[in-house]
Each structure stands twice: as structure tokens, then as C-alpha cells.
């Protein structure tokens, strides 16, 4: 009888351990993702932290960068004719002034609502799509000023960047927008009709 009770106790204990482990695995399928991982069409360069827009306690979310710039070269020199304009020059775009982490997607929508001509930075990002293993990722956007800074900090992890300046989706005023120099790390404002490089990102 004691032997049977001992076996029953061990059986229940093992079941509880297995159940607990299974629960941990299924609660957070993204628990093992990390910066530098190839994931959902690009490379993870940031994991949201408490205080970030979009942060949800107990869940893993972050930002993914495309593996290459979104520009049309057409044989032109990089950084000049091969780059994109911000768009809407001498036009105050309604919205598009978010600079914080988590504002790039809305900035991009605001830009395209104000002007959506082909070839501008926001349109290049919004039009970008990539299909991997049957899944299409088409929700890319032009990063905000702070998101672009995070991308600069992880530029060697992501790779493929040019030694040039990149546009953010953060508008300064009717004639200028924020950019980030990927040579020296300086952020500044530039006239919207000046050409800069473009790298699309998306959230997960």
C-alpha cells in the first residue's frame, strides 16, 4: 500500500512539473528572441522596455529593421540621386511630429496622408514588402527620430548601412525634418528636399 502511495505521489509530482513547463513554453513564444536575430522579414534591433510606447508587461515586443536600404539607385551615386527626399517640402504635414519610440508608424501614416508621391522616404518604406516562408510582411514604416537613433546604435548588428545620413519620419517644421548621420552619430534637421538614405522598420 505504501508502495502504491509513493508511486501515486511521484506520478502527480511529475505531472505538475510537466504541466508547469508546458505552461511556461506556451505563455511566451517570443521569450527566446533577441537583438540581432533574423525575424519576420528583417533583423531585431530593439526590445521594448517599460515606459516605451507599446510596452506590455509580460509580453515581448520590439522593432525590426529591413536588411537593406529602401532606395532606387538607377546607377546613381549613393547618397545623392540614389537617395530619397522626405517629401512635402514647404508643406506643414498634419501630425508627423512624434519623436519617441513607438511613433514612427503613425508619423509615416501622417506623411502619406499629406503627400504620397512615389520616391519620398515614407512612401518607400510603406511600399516595402517581403515574403518569407509564405508569410508576407508589408507593414513597414519610416522610423521616428528616437527609433532611428536606436537603429544607429545597433547598425553593426543589423548591417548594410551606408556611411551617410538617414531620414527619420519626425518633422521639424514645414520645410525641415530630422535625420541621423550614420558616420558620426549626430542628429540634425535638414530641408525636406535634400536627399538622404532610407531604412524601413516594423514592429512585432
Which pLDDT tens digit goes with each residue over 130-159? 999 999 999 999 999 999 999 999 999 999
Return the residue matching grid coordinates 533577441. Answer: 34
List the one residue out of 134, 133, 151, 128 whose CA is nearest residue 64: 151
Number of domains composing the chain: 2
| Same domain assignment for residues 177 and 130 | yes
| Same domain assignment for residues 28 and 59 | no
| Same domain assignment for residues 26 and 43 | no
Domain span including residue 11: 1-32
| Same domain assignment for residues 136 and 163 | yes
| Same domain assignment for residues 22 and 42 | no
Q: Is the dihedral of CA 105, 44, 121, 117 positive or negative?
A: negative
| Same domain assignment for residues 86 and 61 | yes
| Same domain assignment for residues 134 and 158 | yes
**Residues of the chain with confidence (pLDDT) below 50:** 1-27, 74-76
List the one residue out of 198, 38, 45, 42 whose CA is nearest residue 125: 198
Return the residue matching grid coordinates 538622404. Answer: 196
| Same domain assignment for residues 21 and 73 | no
| Same domain assignment for residues 89 and 21 | no
* Alpha-carbon dihedral angle through residues 64, 146, 192, 157, given to the nearest 10 degrees: -40
| pLDDT at residue 30 in the model | 63
| Same domain assignment for residues 9 and 108 | no
Amino acid at each position: 500500500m505504501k508502495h502504491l502511495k509513493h508511486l501515486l505521489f511521484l506520478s502527480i509530482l511529475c505531472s505538475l512539473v510537466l504541466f508547469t513547463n508546458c505552461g511556461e513554453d506556451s505563455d511566451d513564444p517570443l521569450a527566446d528572441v533577441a537583438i540581432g536575430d533574423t525575424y519576420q522579414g528583417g533583423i531585431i534591433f530593439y526590445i521594448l522596455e517599460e515606459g516605451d510606447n507599446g510596452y506590455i508587461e509580460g509580453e515581448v515586443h520590439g522593432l525590426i529593421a529591413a536588411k537593406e536600404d529602401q532606395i532606387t539607385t538607377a546607377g546613381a551615386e549613393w547618397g545623392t540621386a540614389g537617395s530619397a527626399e522626405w517629401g512635402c517640402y514647404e508643406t506643414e504635414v498634419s501630425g508627423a511630429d512624434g519623436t519617441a519610440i513607438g511613433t514612427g508608424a503613425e508619423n509615416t501614416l501622417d506623411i502619406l496622408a499629406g503627400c504620397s508621391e512615389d520616391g519620398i522616404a515614407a512612401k518607400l518604406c510603406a511600399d516595402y514588402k517581403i515574403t518569407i516562408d509564405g508569410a508576407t510582411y508589408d507593414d513597414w514604416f519610416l522610423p521616428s527620430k528616437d527609433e532611428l537613433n536606436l537603429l544607429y546604435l545597433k547598425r553593426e548588428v543589423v548591417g548594410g548601412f551606408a556611411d551617410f545620413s538617414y531620414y527619420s519620419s519626425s518633422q521639424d517644421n514645414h520645410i525641415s525634418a530630422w535625420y541621423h548621420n550614420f558616420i558620426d552619430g549626430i542628429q540634425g534637421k535638414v530641408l525636406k528636399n535634400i536627399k538622404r538614405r532610407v531604412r524601413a522598420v516594423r514592429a512585432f
